[in-house]
Chain A
Amino acid sequence: MSNLVLAITEQIDGQFRKVTFEALSEGRRIASATGGSLAALVLGSDVGSLADELGKYGADRVLVADNGALADYTTGAYTNVVGALIHQESPAVVVIGATAQGKDLSARLSARLDAPLAMDCVAVSIDDGQLTVTRPMYGGKILAEVQMDGDPKIIALRPNAIAITEADGGGAVESLEIDPGESKIKVLEKTLETGKVELTEADIIVSGGRGMGGSDYSVIETLADLLGAAVGASRSAVDEGWRPHSDQVGQTGKVVSPNLYLACGISGAIQHLAGMGSSKVIVAINKDPEAPIFAKADYGIVDDLFEVIPCITEEVKRIK
């Protein structure tokens, strides 16, 4: 076994996801703390031109698996390539973003390689060579510190939890010839909502709950557009059919940690608070001064959200 750290990247529409840079930054820190080196792995079709960008986040080597069969993510093909690469390079640690793709790939890899996996980690520390990760459990009601026995140690990082640091790496590009094999799974169709800010990656989230009173979220959407924010919703708003399931924030929805979370007309059920409690700054706007959300908020406004939010929008426009 080497002391190589392998960071697995992920791109969408020809651009790396933000979590890729988070994974590289953490990978660099781990490599530096253990006297190892960092390799980044890029998988996809026609992705060669992307590779150059990665040296700037501390990658000593950039390994590119460019193959038509890797154009869209499928569990089988991606696991075959990454699994074979890990056999070849024997990294001590593998870092990946805990996205839809990263969760699926890391779980399948852990079984393929018989390797320990810590999912959705929010912090990594190394003390005397001992790697410890912190990961939320029970939807964020508990933080667990976890250690792993076995190799490689697979760390899947929650998007938006890790600081991005630029560092000089050589970034020497190597192309890989690994056969992805035959995929049992066929990709029939792929639909992406262009321009939509993904909740788990958003710096700012504006969320609406029961206080919205209906499916008209235009006051929230206007402010969100202006701030480049994602729109979220509480479970009750989703259960009412006002918003799609994919917008739900909470223990049985998406767990988020943006810089700023604006909770509008959300009372603050325990499942919701668990799902957004790690946001850096929380603002609550609610008519009910007794709403539990105020106990968790850094700033609170007791008022009608339909009056306050348009004023906030105007104020943001004024200062921008």
Chain B
Amino acid sequence: MNIVVLLKQVPATESLVSVAADGVSIQTGDLKWVINPYDEFAVEEALRIKEAHGGSVTILSIGSDKAVEAIRTALAMGADTGVLINDEAAIGRDALVTAKILAAALKGMSYDLIIAGQRAVDGDNYQVGTAVAEYLGIPNISLVIKAEVTDGAVQCHRTIEGGTVVLEAPLPALFTTQRGLNEPRYASLPGIMKAKKKPLETKTLSDIGIQPGDLEGPSTRIVRMTPPPERAGGQMIEGESPQEKAAKLVKALREEAKVI
């Protein structure tokens, strides 16, 4: 069972994010960078499947030199090898181009199962994993909270609004993770030591068969970024008793805010 995990390094969710001077990107100076939380679930799930069925876990990522740290963390958790597409023309592209690049890299790799985060918590596109599956011509199941590999297939519990659907896809297949799938392990100290010696290959776009010009085509462009509107601090409701405060609140919600 060869498993590939698609992984992205993103700003930690506790980060304050602000718009850079160009107005179309964010300031990256003070950010702490981590593995995208949904990709961490993907790494953990891949390791569990490998532990049960044997095989290997490969981490595939696109990023600059600093993304090496995220891949090493995944290797320290227990993944076997890493591949980083480090090419200026590959970094910071929109979700569809990112999926094309990942699919091109995957075509030269051996995989039975691909696991990806449902979204990266920076771009919030919910698009890359599913689009990669389409480019590879394999089935995908998104938003998975439970996965079980059986004979030549993967059974997944997918979350939908108000419920769950159990689906089965023949391998090779791709699924994307949802919170609740597992609790990712921490890298152990011996794991961190071992990770330093694990193979981590760096590739350019031409290494994976993409020529300049291949990535031109439809795209999404950010033309402006703004912080969300500041919420003006509101009104504190005072009163002698909980009853009095509750009555004032309900009155305000009904008469001023008109929401109940």
Contact = CB atoms under 8 A, between A and B. Distances in A.
Contacts of B37: 252
B66 interface: no
Given A141-B17, A184-B170, A270-B14, A118 B220 contact: yes
Interface in A31-83: 72-76, 79
A194 B233 CA distance: 38
Contacts, number: 275
Contacts of B142: 75, 100, 103-104, 107
B162 A244 contact: no
Contacts of B180: 244-246
Interface string A123-158: 000000000100111111111111111110000000
Interface in A277-302: 277-278, 280-283, 294-302
A149 to B, nearest CB: 5
Interface string A300-320: 111110011001101110010
A248 B159 CA distance: 13
A99 interface: yes
B163 A193 contact: yes
A311 B242 contact: yes
Interface string A198-223: 10110010000000000000000000
A265 interface: no
Interface in B124-157: 124-135, 139-143, 145, 155
Nearest to B100: A111
Contacts of B235: 298-300
A185 B219 contact: no
B227 interface: yes
B250 A75 contact: no
Q: Which of B38, B94, B228 has the most CB of A within 10 A?
A: B228
Given A117-B127, A141-B228, A283 B26 contact: no
Interface in A83-108: 98-101, 103-104, 106-108
A76 to B, nearest CB: 6
Given A252-B179, A280-B259, A116 B126 contact: no
B127 A119 contact: yes
Nearest to B23: A145
B99 A111 contact: yes
A145 B127 contact: no
Nearest to B126: A103
Q: Which 8 A-B pairs have the closest CB atoms?
A: A150-B218, A245-B180, A311-B246, A111-B134, A107-B130, A192-B163, A111-B131, A298-B234
B139 A315 contact: no
Interface of A: 12, 17, 72-76, 79, 98-101, 103-104, 106-108, 110-112, 114-120, 132, 135-151, 184-193, 196, 198, 200-201, 204, 227, 244-246, 248, 251-253, 259-260, 269-271, 277-278, 280-283, 294-304, 307-308, 311-312, 314-316, 319
Contacts of B129: 107
A144 B94 CA distance: 13
A138 B17 contact: yes
B13 A251 contact: yes
Contact of A189 (B26, B94, B165): B165
B181 to A, nearest CB: 9
Given A116-B96, A301-B249, A75 B130 contact: yes
Contacts of A17: 161
Q: Which of A74, A75, A76 has the most CB of B within 10 A?
A: A75
B236 interface: yes
Contact of A138 (B11, B94, B169): B11
Contact of A271 (B13, B170, B221, B242): B13
Contact of A144 (B224, B243, B247): B224
Given A136-B228, A260-B259, A316 B250 contact: yes
A142 B250 CA distance: 32
Contacts of B21: none
Nearest to B237: A301
12 contacts: A114-B96, A119-B125, A137-B122, A144-B225, A146-B223, A185-B167, A193-B163, A271-B14, A294-B233, A299-B237, A299-B257, A312-B249
